[in-house]
């Protein structure tokens, strides 16, 4: 599965491909997840990564998926004591048999509770969960800052409980993944956390944690240099789905197996406009359908959306990614450039049909 985005290094890759028997790539929260801080001796100013790893590893699992075309391996995060596990949709897509290995090596059968291709998230549930499951703690991804220390935990190339460290390289990075459908109906748009922590095939669905051990993102893709191979290893450009989006979708999947998505009701393209003598790039409105949140908010053709609340928008994919990470019925402020000046419009998002 190749992902295309603003990254120009050869594309972004959803890196846990389904492997056939010949090894060739064939492409392919619950309330308890908001428990108190992880008990570690670490601090944000002087991270003790050994303590963080010891605290978070028990909440991280290896996922093995058997499908018609072969097998794949990914990572997951324990959401609660009921055995719900959060991972990426592309890890389990097409899976006929799922097996989860805990950090202590114990192996359990699992079933798919629900999947959401548009955010690349899925929830599994252990068929017979142990009584001592340790749920992960989820942090506030909206407060993530560029330059802060982070750790990625997962199963790269089948090596379970591997930890790597780095920093947050960027926030609200628009990443667009193109799936296998010719019409693009299975494309994923994410307003992602970018990190230089080493992420490789097998890390998908694993946690990106801060120096306190709180999950701030779910690792999902990497950028790769163009080559004869469809995927490559880490070059220091990894992307994670923000924890706020992950929890929003996971809670819905646990409740009903499906997820609703926020809807703005606008068609946009990459564009730019001048405001107060400065050129701003953003999502230029091509049309706003009557009766939609966009039209009710006053968006009109030619407007260039440059921000949603405090999140900058530099193009059409960025706007889609931001909106998909927001809750249905939530109210937000759109900053638009119109007739040479910035304006703020208030919009209430509805559910996509």
Give the CA count within 13 Å in the CB-facing half-sphere of 282: 26
Which own/partner pairs from 225-231 qualify as long-range (CB within 8 Å, at least 24 positions apart)?
225/9, 225/10, 226/9, 226/10, 226/11, 227/10, 230/2, 230/13, 230/17, 230/25, 230/27, 231/13, 231/15, 231/17, 231/25, 231/201
Residue 186 token pair: 């299975």
Residue 85 token pair: 């596990």
- As a dihedral over the C-alpha atoms of residue 12, residue 173, residue 113, residue 95, rounded to 10 degrees, the angle is 0
For the four alpha carbons of 319, 324, 326 and 332, in that order, the dihedral sign comes to positive
Distance CA 220, CA 308 (A): 23
Bridge partners of 149, per DSSP, are: 167
Catalytic residue among 16, 120, 303, 314: 120
Catalytic residue among 118, 204, 220, 232: 204
Show Cβ contacts of residue 214 under 8 Å, excluding neighbours closer than 6 positions: 37, 38, 137, 138, 139, 243
For the four alpha carbons of 230, 24, 100 and 254, in that order, the dihedral sign comes to positive
Annotation marks residue 103 as catalytic: no
Beta carbons of 38 and 223 less than 8 angstroms apart: no
**From residue 239, how far is each of 23, 94, 134, 221, 318 by CA, in Å?**
25, 23, 25, 5, 14
Annotation marks residue 204 as catalytic: yes
Annotation marks residue 120 as catalytic: yes
DSSP state of 37: -
Show Cβ contacts of residue 105 under 8 Å, excluding neighbours closer than 6 positions: none
Distance CA 322, CA 268 (A): 14
Question: Looking at 178-265, which runs of residues are DSSP E strands?
Answer: 188-195, 207-209, 215-223, 238-242, 262-263
Catalytic residue among 5, 16, 33, 90: 90
Query: Catalytic residues, which ones?
Result: 90, 120, 204
């Amino acid at each position: 599965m190749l992902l295309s985005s603003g990254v120009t290094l050869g594309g972004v890759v959803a890196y846990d491909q389904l492997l056939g028997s010949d090894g060739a790539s064939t492409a392919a929260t619950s309330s308890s997840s908001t428990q108190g801080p992880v008990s570690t001796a670490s601090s944000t100013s002087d991270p003790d990564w050994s303590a963080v790893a010891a605290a978070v590893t028990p909440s991280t699992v290896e996922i093995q998926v058997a499908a018609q075309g072969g097998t794949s391996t990914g990572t997951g995060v324990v959401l609660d004591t009921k055995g719900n596990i959060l991972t990426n949709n592309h890890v389990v897509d097409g899976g006929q048999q799922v097996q989860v290995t805990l950090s202590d090596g114990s192996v359990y059968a699992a079933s798919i509770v629900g999947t959401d291709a548009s955010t690349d998230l899925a929830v599994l549930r252990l068929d017979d969960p142990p009584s001592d499951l340790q749920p992960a703690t989820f942090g506030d991804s909206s407060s993530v800052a560029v330059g802060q220390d982070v750790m990625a935990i997962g199963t790269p190339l089948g090596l379970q409980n591997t930890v790597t460290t780095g920093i947050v390289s960027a926030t609200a990075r628009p990443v667009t993944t193109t799936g296998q459908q010719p019409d693009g109906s299975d494309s994923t748009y994410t307003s992602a956390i970018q990190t230089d922590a080493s992420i490789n095939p097998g890390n998908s669905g694993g946690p990106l944690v801060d120096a306190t051990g709180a999950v701030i993102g779910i690792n999902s893709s990497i950028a790769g240099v163009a080559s004869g191979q469809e995927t490559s290893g880490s070059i220091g450009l990894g992307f994670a789905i923000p924890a706020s989006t992950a929890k929003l979708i996971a809670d819905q999947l646990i409740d009903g197996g499906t997820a609703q998505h926020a809807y703005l009701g606008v068609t946009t393209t990459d564009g730019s406009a001048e405001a107060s003598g400065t050129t701003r790039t953003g999502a230029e409105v091509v049309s706003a359908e009557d009766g939609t949140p966009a039209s009710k908010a006053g968006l009109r053709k030619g407007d260039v959306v440059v921000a949603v609340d405090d999140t900058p928008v530099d193009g059409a994919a960025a706007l889609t990614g931001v909106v998909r990470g927001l809750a249905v019925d939530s109210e937000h402020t759109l900053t638009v450039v119109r007739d040479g000046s910035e304006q703020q419009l208030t919009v209430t998002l509805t559910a996509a049909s």
